[in-house]
Amino acid sequence: MSEKQILRIYGNSSNSTSSEHPSFNFSRSLKRPKVYATRDFPEHCEPAKSLASCSRNYDASVNEAVSPKEEQEKMDRKKVKEALKLFQEIYKHLSDEEKAKRKGEFIGARRTDIEAAERLKKKGKFIHSKKQFGHIPGISIGDRFRLRAELAVIGLHRQYTSGIDYMVHEGKKFATSVVNSGRYENKAKTVDILIYSGQGGRKGFGNKAEQVDQKLERGNLALANSMEREYPIRVIHKCHDKEGSSYVYDGLYFVKRFWREKDQGKFVFKFELLRISGQEKFSRRNPIESRKLKSSCKECCVVGDVSEGRENMQISVMNGVDGEKPEIFSYITEVSYPEWFKEIHQSGCDCTNGCSSSIRCRCSFKNRGEIPFTEKGAIIGPRPVVYECGPSCKCPPSCMNRVTQHGPRIKFELFKTESRGWGVRSRSYISSGSFVCEFVGKLRQIKDKQKVDCGQGRFSGFVKLGSGKYDASSAEGSSDRNETGFILDAKESGNVGRFIGYSSSPNLLIQRVLYNHDDERMPHIMMFAAKNIPPMQELTCDYDHPVDQICRFQYRL
């Protein structure tokens, strides 16, 4: 069916009924919040009611006498349903077209949902063409929407990607709605309080993204202005269940306060939003359904990407135990060296056409005359140290002696275990010998008799890198000549490696690797698959194994 046909079939019934803004539609409750619940907010396990199953049954018996108000509500809801139906048909049409074009191949990300919404917008089929404050007629608390673009179509949240939507009123920006996606550490601690992180603060994308200070502009300014005037803000939570993600309307909130704090050295804005009291709570209204839904929600995604875009692939956090998120830590992808640390480079290899197992390649020579990796990047047997080519080598980045320095390529997932805290697994199969990840943290020196809680199964975020006297003469700013040994401390800053659990028969082996410096006292701690690892199996290593010794367990390629 063509888009024209679809539009013809559905006519103009979903035309806007909005009044001139500012239209404050929060008649269902306007009391300032007084008492706030303190129980943990299980936002990802909240019973998300579908629009069709909403408690107000507008298709109920026509014989019942209905008031004009109810009649209006019925009409509003009908319009919402019609607009969504129209959207779904265009979306399906575009998706089918896209699938046929792709023939199974990946051509690049195309947001078909946005495209479908844009087509509806051009035809004037958006509900409430003007933005407005408060509830949107026809939409009830607890309504669930599968696609983000649907929120724009029905006027709940007009931004396709940005979390804060706002409009200009009397020359000033005011927030109309926020989507709590969990992406920016929106720690929804209780059912009534939402700590919402401001927008901005990143320049560029993926690995090249640079952290900058957030500014009090656009959405952040709009939230601040809304606080001043006590304007209500719609809150929509992104939830995850077995069927995927969805967006649930949670009702109206006020901004109570906001502040600026440092995150990884840069300023970010935090807004405390309080749910307006007296509004329906879909979780409390029908507790039997709530329990049923909670138990059917065996494992929910509580954080979309714990690396916040810093890794090559997203690392989602799944929790089927208690709905909690991991404790806050700074996600870093490289070892954080202290200021005094200087990279000591020996001369690298001169191989301009890639390295090979010959004495002409200096790096190969350091590796006992062989390249320690297969062409596919699997490690050829554990050894005391692997010397990868590095910044002083002339070989290209694609050289087969550069494996771990490119970072992990595994689709990791963090998950909550019943009794061991968080663990790590891979969504895809990992073949024996493949590089899994590095254990990164802050590199610290330890003093002679300083006790570090690591090893002997009590590992708690540290890896001891072995001992050795540190020559203070080469350390700027250090005057303590008795310091010996180094540790990687991942308690406050680390990567996915800090969540890997212990096993006496592990499926990962620990391998010391050098590439960006030649100081053997502080090698990179790299983890490789010790065997073939099926998808979703917990990744484990042997904490008791001293990292300055060759791994004692066997593995085969």
Ligand X SMILES: C[S@@+](CC[C@H](N)C(=O)[O-])C[C@H]1O[C@@H](n2cnc3c(N)ncnc32)[C@H](O)[C@@H]1O
Which residues of this chain interact with ligand X, rule CB under 6 A?
420-422, 459-461, 498-499, 501-503
- Minimum distance between the CB of residue 458 and ligand X, rounded to whole angstroms? 6
- Minimum distance between the CB of residue 488 and ligand X, rounded to whole angstroms? 11
- Minimum distance between the CB of residue 499 and ligand X, rounded to whole angstroms? 4
Nearer to ligand X, 91 or 422 (CB): 422
Nearer to ligand X, 175 or 527 (CB): 527
What does the buried/exposed string (b/e) look like for 261-279 if buried means 16 or more CB atoms within 10 Å of the residue's CB?
eebeeeebbbbbbbbbeeb
**Cα four-point dihedral sign 359, 365, 368, 369:** negative
Nearer to ligand X, 241 or 542 (CB): 542
- Minimum distance between the CB of residue 294 and ligand X, rounded to whole angstroms? 23
Distance CA 150, CA 257 (A): 30
The position carrying tokens 């990884």 is: 264
Nearer to ligand X, 455 or 468 (CB): 455
Alpha-carbon dihedral 421, 425, 431, 435, rounded to 10 degrees:
-70
Nearer to ligand X, 247 or 499 (CB): 499
Distance CA 36, CA 134 (A): 20
Cβ-contact 85, 10 below 8 angstroms: yes
Nearer to ligand X, 176 or 507 (CB): 507
3 state SS of 180: strand
- Minimum distance between the CB of residue 322 and ligand X, rounded to whole angstroms? 12
Cβ-contact 530, 553 below 8 angstroms: yes
- Minimum distance between the CB of residue 417 and ligand X, rounded to whole angstroms? 7
- Round the CA-based radius of gyration of the chain to a whole number and report it: 28
Cβ-contact 320, 335 below 8 angstroms: no
- Minimum distance between the CB of residue 505 and ligand X, rounded to whole angstroms? 11
Cβ-contact 529, 431 below 8 angstroms: yes
- Minimum distance between the CB of residue 70 and ligand X, rounded to whole angstroms? 51
Residue of closest CB approach to ligand X: 421
Nearer to ligand X, 298 or 420 (CB): 420
Nearer to ligand X, 410 or 475 (CB): 410
Distance CA 52, CA 55 (A): 9
Alpha-carbon dihedral 93, 97, 100, 101, rounded to 10 degrees:
-170
Strand 493-494, strand 330-331: pairing: parallel
Compute CA 146 distance to the chain's CA centroid, rounded to the nearest angstrom. Answer: 19
DSSP for 410-423, please give it.
S-EEEEE-SSS-EE
Distance CA 511, CA 387 (A): 11
Nearer to ligand X, 29 or 503 (CB): 503
- Minimum distance between the CB of residue 131 and ligand X, rounded to whole angstroms? 43
